[in-house]
């Protein structure tokens, strides 16, 4: 990959991230543990919103205009093991699209910071 200073650039910018998101949801929807959670989701919207969210999280353009993450994932029964599988599908997709292991680790570290919002494991005292 290139020597771009931002993670977003190094993972291939708009084109690269779009491909990573598309492949990631192919893997997620083919996963029998995760696909039921997406049964009623508007996948076109989810892909678009996920692209925008991740672009911002990876130091790219900040255009995310979707629902706040806690609200979007509340009461869906999403647990730590679902989160872990989702992240491993992200990593497999990024690997397929040529992202370096170092950049994948960097991206996974950023995804991990959203875990409590996605799984609802909020620290109520925090
Ligand atoms: C770091 C990890 C994750 C991020 C950044 C993320 C981000 C997002 C975003 C941006 C949306 C769109 C919100 C909107 O419509 O405005 C969304 C929707 C959704 N996410 Fe996640 N998500 C993550 C993990 C997960 C996991 C682990 C699951 C379940 C296995 C999940 C299930 C869903 C579902 C079902 C929707 C659709 C909600 C609806 O029908 O409106 N997400 N997510």
Please check if 73 is assigned to a binding site: yes
Is ipTM strictly over 0.90? yes
Instruction: Determine the distance separating the centroid of ligand 1 and the alpha carbon of 6, expressed in angstroms.
Output: 24
pLDDT of residue 4: 77
pLDDT of residue 122: 62
As a whole number of Å, the CA-based R_g of the chain is: 14
What is the distance between the alpha carbons of residues 16 and 37, in angstroms, rounded to a whole number? 26
What is the distance between the alpha carbons of residues 15 and 17, in angstroms, rounded to a whole number? 6
What is the distance between the alpha carbons of residues 64 and 26, in angstroms, rounded to a whole number? 22
Q: Is 55 helix (H, G, I), strand (E, B) or coil?
A: helix
Q: Tens of pLDDT along 30-84? A: 999 999 999 999 999 999 999 999 999 999 999 999 999 999 999 999 999 999 9
The answer, yes or no, to whether residue 1 has pLDDT greater than 50, is no
Ligand 1, atom 18: closest residue by C-alpha: 46
Q: In ligand 1, which atom is closest to the CA atom of 64?
A: 10
Task: Return the ∠ at Cα 49 (arms to 43 and 52), rounded to 5°.
Answer: 145
Q: Could you tell me the domains of the chain?
A: 7-119 (1.10.490.10)
Name the one residue in this structure whose structure tokens are 């730590």.
Answer: 80
Ligand 1, atom 22: closest residue by C-alpha: 118
User: pLDDT band for position 126 (50/70/90)?
Assistant: very low
| Protein residues whose CB sits closer than 6 Å to any atom of ligand 1 | 34, 37-38, 41, 45-46, 49-50, 53, 66-67, 69, 72-73, 76, 78, 82-83, 86, 111, 114, 118
């Amino acid at each position: 990959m290139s020597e771009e200073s931002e993670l977003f650039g190094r993972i291939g910018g708009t084109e690269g991230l779009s491909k990573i998101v598309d492949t990631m949801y192919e893997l997620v929807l083919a996963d029998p543990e995760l696909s039921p959670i997406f049964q009623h989701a508007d996948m076109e919207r989810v892909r678009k919103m996920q692209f925008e969210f991740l672009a911002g999280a990876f130091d790219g353009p900040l255009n995310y205009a979707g629902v706040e993450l806690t609200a979007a994932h509340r009461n869906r029964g999403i647990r730590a093991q679902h989160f872990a599988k989702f992240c491993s599908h992200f990593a497999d997709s990024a690997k397929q699209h040529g992202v370096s292991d170092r950049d994948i680790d960097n991206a996974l570290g950023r995804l991990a910071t959203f875990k409590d919002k996605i799984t609802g494991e909020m620290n109520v005292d925090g």
